[in-house]
Amino acid sequence: MAFTVAIDGPAAAGKGTISRAIANRFGFEYLDTGLLYRATGAKVAAGMAPLEAASSLTPEDLARGDLRTAEAGQAASRVAAMADVREALVAFQRDFARRGTGAVLDGRDIGTVICPGAEVKLFVTASDTVRADRRWRELADPSLTRDAVLEDLRARDRRDRERAAAPLRPAQDAVVLDTSQMDIDAAVSAAAARITAALG
């Protein structure tokens, strides 16, 4: 059964954690689409042309250990603003989304561009300060301050929302899930309830 769950939202809102938990709970495949852009950005930073980098991704590229750094996030945001890079990665994501086992994809434009026909669309968000605190704790880098992480996060949000190609925004029919005051169990339960209802 092809059943797609599209989970979008800004950085550190909890969408990745929710997506992985949902995939495990329902036995769906999971794709963190941000890794595609992070891996592309890393290859560009190493000197490769953006379109070539996006078109030549391998499973090894997605398994790199340095893709969760703040630098990789900024590189991802820069290449994600390039229309030709996004186009090169669309087919991969759409093919993944219609796997017969069901699929959960998380990113910035899954419900609006990649899978507008997804059976469930969630937009996971939280306040800037809550997201910055989460990311600061996750990075656990003594050289970074919360304020620096907040500034970095806001710059990335601005770039993601203002880009011409597939800007960050909720799909019209997405359920908005604000996790600012939620723990992970409550957020996953809310998402799971929506999916259970859609599965009938």
Mean pLDDT of 128-142: 92
Q: What integer pLDDT is reported at residue 156 of this predicted model?
A: 87
What is the distance between the alpha carbons of residues 117 and 97, in angstroms, rounded to a whole number? 10
Q: Is 73 annotated as a binding residue?
A: no
- Is residue 4 part of an annotated ligand binding site? no
Known binder of ligand: residue 11?
A: yes
Give the pLDDT confidence score for residue 165 in this predicted structure: 79
pLDDT digits (tens, 9 = 90+) for 70-109: 788 888 888 988 989 988 999 889 988 988 889 999 999 9
* Rounded average pLDDT over 6-22: 95
Cα separation of 106 and 59, whole Å?
Answer: 18
| 16 assigned binding-site residue | yes
23 is in an annotated binding site: no
pLDDT of residue 101: 85
Is residue 104 within 8 A of residue 30, CB to CB? The reply is yes
Question: Is residue 69 over pLDDT 90?
Answer: no
Q: What value, to the nearest 5°, has the Cα angle with vertex 191 and ends 18 and 27?
A: 70
* pLDDT value at residue 166: 82
Give residue 91's pLDDT.
83
Tokens of 45: 């930073």
Instruction: With cut-offs at 50, 70 and 90, classify the pLDDT of residue 22.
Output: very high
20 pLDDT more than 70: yes
**Going from the N-terminus, what domains does the chain have, and what CATH number goes with each?**
4-199 (3.40.50.300)
Q: What pLDDT is stored for residue 38 in this prediction?
A: 92
Which pLDDT score, from 0 to 100, does residue 126 have? 97
The beta strands (E) that lie in the chain are given as: 4-8, 29-32, 103-107, 120-125, 175-178
Cα(198)–Cα(60) distance, integer angstroms: 35
- The verdict on whether residue 14 carries a ligand-binding annotation is yes
43 is in an annotated binding site: no
Q: Is pLDDT at 163 greater than 90 in this prediction? A: no
Model pLDDT, residue 1? 63
Give the mean pLDDT of the chain.
Answer: 92
Do the beta carbons of residue 80 and residue 108 sit within 8 Å?
Answer: yes
